Chain A
């Protein structure tokens, strides 16, 4: 949606925004553009040519079939984990705990995938078992802050941050501990878990590339989450609680039940993200540092996608593309791969402080917005 679209037929705009819910896209797109422009100032200041740098970045992430496959593979965990965060936003909950839930899911999957009898069953059973393990691991770990918030009012932001630290240390111990040996593959030079059985590995979408079936799963999960939120009673309750918990209570909805449900399901999604990476990765094992920052980046991606279950796909692909192309940019344009973090940070900044973008591009604040669509953004998460 550009400025001209704003001027043209109001009815058309309203129709598009109503049926395709495109209004929220305007600001994120401008935010990305602004970040790229400011990023090029940084590149210039560092003495390189921004056009060369961005061209190399693009070649590295989309320049060939193999590059596209790498980008999509890199985006897969981001899609699912940011979907988890977005799902929380819809109920007005700020789930900072995706990182911990993802680790718990990955650990559960890495554990179940090495059970002796998994080797004996066909993939149609082994793969869902491993993914289910991830789901349960994340569900339980996400349920903790849900119950604490619903029962005691403990703020989910604080609780999930602390649970992240616990999960990170726990993962280090479970993976690295030699005495007692828990998940460690003792034959490995770099500490990692025993690889999961071949039967439980997700098949590759394109052989010879890292792209695996997890990407399809991620897209399907987006559809499922959208359907649940928009087409079911539970989804309506979630959105209503997110928009106004008092009104929800007045309408006879159980706010505490919704909080537990949403945080647990959000955790379950994050857990699937971890499990799918363990089962879909080329190695089939988990190292303690493998998911460094994935959960945190997912918060940013969910913000960029304005918590829309479909918008997380392009937002996560953008993230994956930046990370995938960084090496090529460094080799071909001589710009440090740290630049992609500058761009990512700027994107977050301009999305979060959208007043800047609205002012620069003169984007009107949408009128009569459906408050149940905006969740955490309308309400703020500190409330």
Chain B
């Protein structure tokens, strides 16, 4: 971002990659019958029609609400646990080991448990999203907290910082670069968890449910349209929104 030349180059790379993906899709469509793989223009036309329907926005809104609630809660909890865990030498290694073990469980594996525990509804989906996003956030914050420079901590101590001031003014800004990387990783997890949970749970409208439904009625144009939406949204959130937040929070590094 600090360098316009690389910015332009990376934009060009993105455009090229999108063209390439669409090209391979179209090649597949030429070789397969249209009820198995729709042409790109057909899917784009369907998407255009979808964008005009209230139903689409209802599902989109539901999905975004679940994502926001789950991802938001996970970021908050991950930051707090990461900071506190990272500063407590006694529990740090145990906590980290526990996170690494739990992290290896695909978040979608929790669905049956949460469904029975919390009942059919929004909550199990939100919790699955949160579980997926929590671990990478907590781990990145904890690792970063551990490696905050000694002199930065000592300087705050001689200036008379309280424990709370230390966390807010020293540890938190010091771990922000790693936190953002962790949050971007966490977003990928959250997004995967959201779509798969919606596909499985199938509670009220949503991107995942819409995709699963298209599959059930063998509407391949619908399937590809939904995949397109899921891909574009993820790229926009990650590359535009999260990158912009990163740039704002780490502005001092780019000056």
Partners in one complex: no
